[in-house]
């Protein structure tokens, strides 16, 4: 595959058209999809052709801008906003982006221009934030560290270097010798398909483990630190992230391993007092029953498929943001404002 890690761009826009890497095809095919209107962009979010909180947010911002290009009637734009917001409920960045583009553009003289400018700013800000979070996270990584990560919180999931993987890319680029244990992350395998692909492109040594092996590696002294991303963070510091994050955090505490969440402050939701207020997306049971579109589970059984879980703040060593690292449950959370 000729795409090199430094070239990986999960999403961009040109002439009001949105372009994405079709993440459902990775790692075996690198296909670019072009999305010509807000409906196509919203559908790509819903069907997880793109995914990861940051990339979802950028796509939602672009989809809103497409809606402002398509309509001048504000009722139609409001309807488009509802459709975009109905795609995936948990990632706070999606709602952050739709609201920001909508509020800034709805009553100005040149709504279409303001909408696109705002959508591009969201993308640019994520790239800047990712660089800062990467530097802060890399300071916690010592030469020779073994790192565990869950799901994909890299370049495919947030523009720039990603969130959790930004620390890993930065430490690697600083010349530190590191090894990354990659949780496979069933049911959609974001770890073994996407994180492993990204790390391979960057030449970062890594190994894939099944989801239920993390405890084994922690107990045997193989993990020095854990980095994960976040989809939404409540006011008390509880974190929603990919299903399985909670159990990794509990295991890390049990084994005295630092557990860091890496996310921009746009993931903070001041309207959620605790993790109990965060809506968890339920996805199709087929994702559990099938692998590569083939049934592997017992035909006729039922499956449950919550896409995220809540890690209580007490299991989290720190939350690395572009504004610094929040520790010990001392979180002063305001929703992000673009400067």
CA–CA dist 88, 188 (Å, integer) = 15
Which residue lies nearer to ligand MRU by CB, 149 or 201?
149
| Residue 137 binds to ligand MRU (criterion: CB under 6 A) | no
Residues 259 to 298 in contact with ligand MRU, rule: CB under 6 A: none
CB of 258 to ligand MRU, least distance (A): 18
**Is 118 strand, coil or helix?**
helix
Q: Which stretch binds ligand MRU (CB under 6 A): 11-19, 49-57, 126-134, 251-259?
A: 49-57
Q: What are the helix (H) ranges across 109-265?
A: 111-138, 164-173, 196-202, 214-219, 245-254
Taking CB under 6 A as the binding criterion, the range among 13-21, 45-53, 122-130, 309-317 that sits at the site for ligand MRU is: 45-53
Residue 1, judged by CB atoms within 10 A of its CB (0-12, 13-18, 19+), counts as exposed
CB of 56 to ligand MRU, least distance (A): 6
What is the rounded distance in angstroms from the CA atom of residue 339 to the CA atom of residue 337?
6
C-alpha dihedral over 173, 197, 45, 286, to 10 degrees? -140
Within residues 177-196, the interface with ligand MRU by CB under 6 A covers 190
Applying CB under 6 A, among 58, 157, 171, 257 the residue interacting with ligand MRU is 157
Sheet holding 232-233, edge to edge: 232-233, 239-242, 308-311
SS3 177: coil
Q: Which residues, numbered 60-89, are part of the site for ligand MRU (CB under 6 A)?
A: none
Which CB, 178 or 230, lies closer to ligand MRU?
Answer: 230
- Nearest Cα neighbor of 146 from 225, 205, 209 is 225
Q: How far apart are CA 230 and CA 237, in angstroms?
A: 11
Size, binding site for ligand MRU by CB under 6 A: 16
Of these, 65, 151, 182, 249, which contacts ligand MRU (CB under 6 A)? 151
Out of 153, 166, 252, 316, the residue judged to bind ligand MRU by CB under 6 A: 153
269 has catalytic annotation = no
Over the window 197 to 236, marking each residue x when it contacts ligand MRU by CB under 6 A and - when it does not, the resulting string is: --------------------------------xxx-----
Could you give the CA distance from residue 245 to residue 267 in angstroms, rounded to a whole number? Answer: 16
> Residue 88 in contact with residue 50, Cβ under 8 Å?
no
Closer CB to ligand MRU, residue 45 or residue 77? 45
Q: Note whether 241 binds ligand MRU by CB under 6 A.
A: yes
Residue of the chain from 20, 42, 49, 54 that contacts ligand MRU (CB under 6 A): 54
**Cα→Cα distances 14→9, 17, 35, 106, 280, Å:** 13, 5, 11, 22, 33
118 binds ligand MRU (CB under 6 A): no
Q: Does 51 bind ligand MRU (CB under 6 A)?
A: yes
Q: Which is nearer to ligand MRU, 50 or 100 (CB)?
A: 50
The residue annotated as part of the active site, out of 93, 183, 211, 231, is 231
Which residue blocks in the chain are alpha helix, DSSP H? 38-46, 53-70, 74-85, 92-105, 111-138, 164-173, 196-202, 214-219, 245-254, 286-289
- What are the respective helix, strand and coil percentages of the chain, to the nearest 5? 40, 15, 40
List contacts with ligand MRU (CB under 6 A).
Answer: 51-54, 151, 153, 157-158, 163, 190, 229-231, 241-242, 307
Catalytic residues: 231
């Amino acid at each position: 595959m000729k795409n090199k890690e430094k070239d990986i761009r999960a999403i961009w826009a040109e002439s009001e058209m949105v372009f994405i890497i079709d993440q459902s095809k990775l790692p075996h095919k690198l296909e670019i999809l072009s999305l010509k209107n807000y409906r196509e962009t919203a559908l790509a979010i819903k069907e997880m052709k793109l995914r990861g909180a940051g990339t979802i947010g950028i796509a939602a911002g672009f989809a809103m801008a497409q809606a402002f290009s398509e309509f001048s009637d504000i009722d139609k734009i409001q309807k488009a906003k509802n459709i975009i917001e109905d795609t995936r409920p948990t990632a706070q960045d999606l709602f952050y982006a739709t609201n920001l583009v909508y509020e800034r553009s709805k009553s100005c003289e040149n709504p279409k221009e303001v909408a696109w400018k705002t959508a591009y700013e969201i993308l640019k800000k994520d790239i800047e934030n990712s660089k800062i979070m990467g530097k802060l996270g890399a300071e916690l990584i010592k030469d020779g560290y073994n790192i565990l990560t869950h799901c994909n919180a890299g370049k495919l999931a947030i523009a720039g270097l990603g969130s959790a993987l930004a620390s890993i890319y930065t430490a690697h680029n600083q010349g530190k010798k590191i090894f990354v244990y990659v949780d496979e992350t069933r049911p959609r395998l974001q770890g073994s398909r996407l994180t492993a692909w990204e790390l391979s492109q960057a030449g970062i040594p890594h190994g894939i483990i099944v989801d239920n092996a993390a405890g084994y590696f922690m107990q045997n002294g193989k993990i020095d630190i854990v980095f994960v991303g976040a989809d939404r963070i409540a006011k008390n510091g509880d974190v929603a992230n990919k299903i399985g994050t909670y159990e990794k955090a509990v295991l890390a505490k049990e084994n005295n391993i630092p557990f860091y969440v890496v996310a921009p402050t746009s993931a903070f939701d001041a309207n959620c007092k605790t993790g109990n207020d965060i809506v968890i997306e339920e996805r199709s049971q087929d994702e559990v029953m099938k692998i590569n579109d083939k049934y592997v589970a017992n035909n006729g059984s039922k499956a449950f498929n919550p896409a995220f879980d809540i890690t209580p703040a007490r299991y989290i060593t720190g939350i690395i943001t572009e504004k610094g690292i929040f520790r010990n449950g001392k979180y002063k959370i305001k929703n992000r404002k673009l400067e």
